[in-house]
Amino acid sequence: MTIHSPIIILIRPQMGENIGAVARAMANFGLSELRLVSPRDGWPNAQAEAMATGHASQIVENVACFQDTAAAFADITRAYATTARPRDIQKRVVTPQGAMEEMPAIAGKVALVFGPERTGLTNEDLSWCESIITIPTSEHASLNLAQSMVVVAYEWHQFAMGKTKEISNIPTADLSQYDQLFRQLEGHLDESGFFKVAEKKPAMLLNIKTALLRAHMTEQEIQTFHGIFRALAEK
């Protein structure tokens, strides 16, 4: 199954820096196609280019700029408006994650739409959008354009790569190696008179082992601790 990456559409963006910041967020999370509708300061834009370093510069170079909203949406199958939940329009509202999970069911191009920094999307802009993506925030929050783009692009990447919680686990020493370390330590402690009250020894040993096990040591670290205990005992 190939799912095409969503297209980002910025409607009447104001500051070039923000267009550049959007491109950066896109590049970091594997999105590439950016459309602008009536950018305030025209296009191309030097501030946008200055902000969009690295892989983001390609995105800015390949921007498609439209004067007409209808033309920007012409080949889109489904558009999601990214905005705080509007008061006076009844539209389905989903989270970024919920929206990404719908992508496989959509045959055609998907657009994620962002409004102008100050004023947000108008009802006319929203009329192109089947659904609204609202990013869950704390009360009285106000996400700016770049922050919203980071979250939405991040969720796209999460979805596209398939979620894996644990990226990497260091191979931990097996318990036979731990056991050798514990025996060595116990021997040293016995010799040193560490266990003053014999009845308490089992519980004390258990606590020591528990703590060391929780360290999830590698083989190399086990060897290091063998060396540490030996060095201390021989001193």
**Which residues contact a copy of itself (rule: CB under 8 A)?**
24-25, 27-30, 54-55, 85, 90-95, 97-98, 101, 134-138, 140-144, 146-147, 150-151, 154, 157-158, 161, 163-170, 216, 218
**Nearer Cβ to a copy of itself (103/143):** 143
Alpha helices by DSSP H, listed for 29-144, are 46-51, 56-61, 69-73, 96-102, 123-126
Alpha carbons within 13 angstroms on the beta-carbon side of residue 161 total 13
Smallest gap from residue 181 Cβ to a copy of itself (A): 18
- Torsion sign over Cα 86, 90, 96, 97: positive
As a residue count, the chain comes to 235
Cα dihedral angle (27, 33, 38, 44), rounded to 10 degrees?
Answer: 60
Q: What six digits make up the tokens of 186? A: 């116990």
Smallest gap from residue 143 Cβ to a copy of itself (A): 6
**Nearer Cβ to a copy of itself (54/187):** 54
Q: What six digits make up the tokens of 215? A: 């360290």
**Nearer Cβ to a copy of itself (121/152):** 152
CA 160 to chain CA centroid, nearest Å = 12
**Nearer Cβ to a copy of itself (119/138):** 138
Counting Cβ atoms within 10 Å, is residue 21 exposed (0-12), middle (13-18) or buried (19+)? buried
Smallest gap from residue 207 Cβ to a copy of itself (A): 17
Smallest gap from residue 6 Cβ to a copy of itself (A): 14
Smallest gap from residue 98 Cβ to a copy of itself (A): 4
**Nearer Cβ to a copy of itself (37/81):** 81
Please, are residues 135 and 148 in contact by the beta-carbon 8 Å criterion? Answer: yes
Q: What six digits make up the tokens of 218? A: 């590698």
**Nearer Cβ to a copy of itself (50/141):** 141
Residue where the block lists tokens 């657009």: 111
Smallest gap from residue 47 Cβ to a copy of itself (A): 16
